[in-house]
Homo-oligomer: A and B are copies of this chain.
Amino acid sequence: MSDASALEKMVRKLRTRVDLDAADRDAILALPFVARSYDAPAYILREGERPKHYCSFITSGLAYRQKLTAAGGRQIVSVHMVGDFIDLQHLFLNRADHSVQALTELQTAEIDREALQELILDRPNVGRAMWIDALVDASIFREWIVNVGRRSARARVAHLLCEFSLRMRYAGVANKDTYELPMTQEHIADAVGLTSVHVNRTLKSLVESGVITRDKRQISFADWGKLTEIGDFSALYLHLDQAEPLDR
């Protein structure tokens, strides 16, 4: 991947949220950044750290945010993909309140933090796009609270499968009725607040109900409607009306 294309991706992502004028585009493309890649369980950010002088934008691969419990439990609080900013959530904060790890091989653009802050604060269009991005993230966090707090095991994992399907489609990395979910069942468990053993049984039961089929980590949707019903899934919280599918 050429260096330029990383910022191009950022422009393309932000344009799915607001109209950018030529000056906005130029300002984004002028951001100082460094391309970087990580292998699978590498930490991009650790809880408690002061933010780096850069802010990472994903150009390919998946990453997840997690927090640990004193009792040794792990909770994954979100998963991110191309077009997402990893530490937008810390851009104006002094300490990282969670860790971020690479879920797959991951490519990022490390964008200069100061420059990005200025861009956001000085350019209304860019600022608006970034606000939308941050607010949608927050909305997803809220939905996860509901998922983990008030839904049955079946509903939780069904919901997760639905969400990822839509988000990956909009990110241009999956198509309508199938996708490769590179999470282990342990990851899924830590994302929905269950045990990996129980996730295993739950997936099996979803297959038996005929709503999905599986081949390794490839998930296919045999009955999308029923799956959304089981998962109590409504896409409202993803605010897709303020996003457009992004194809590669």
Contact = CB atoms under 8 A, between A and B. Distances in A.
Contact of A193 (B91, B137, B149, B239): B149
Interface stretch (A26-34, A92-100, A105-113, A205-213): A92-100
A13 interface: no
Contacts of A237: 97-98
A242 B93 contact: yes
Interface in A47-105: 47-48, 65, 67, 69-71, 73-75, 77-78, 89-95, 97-98
Contacts of A137: 138
A221 interface: no
Interface string A139-160: 1011111101111100100000
A190 B149 CA distance: 8
A65 B242 CA distance: 22
A214 interface: no
A215 interface: no
Interface stretch (A2-10, A128-136, A161-169, A176-184): A128-136
Contacts of A91: 131, 135
B89 A138 contact: yes
Nearest to A141: B141
A144 B47 CA distance: 16
A139 B89 contact: yes
Nearest to A123: B121
Interface string A184-217: 0000001011000000000000000000000000
A50 to B, nearest CB: 11
Contacts of A65: 142
Contact of A95 (B94, B193, B236): B236
A241 B51 CA distance: 14
Given A67-B142, A67-B143, A138-B138, A94 B239 contact: yes
A122 interface: yes
A48 B239 CA distance: 11
A139 B232 contact: no
A75 B135 contact: no
Given A75-B146, A92-B131, A93-B136, 4 more contacts: A70-B232, A74-B150, A78-B142, A141-B145
The 3 lowest CB-CB distance pairs between A and B, nearest first, are: A149-B193, A141-B141, A73-B150
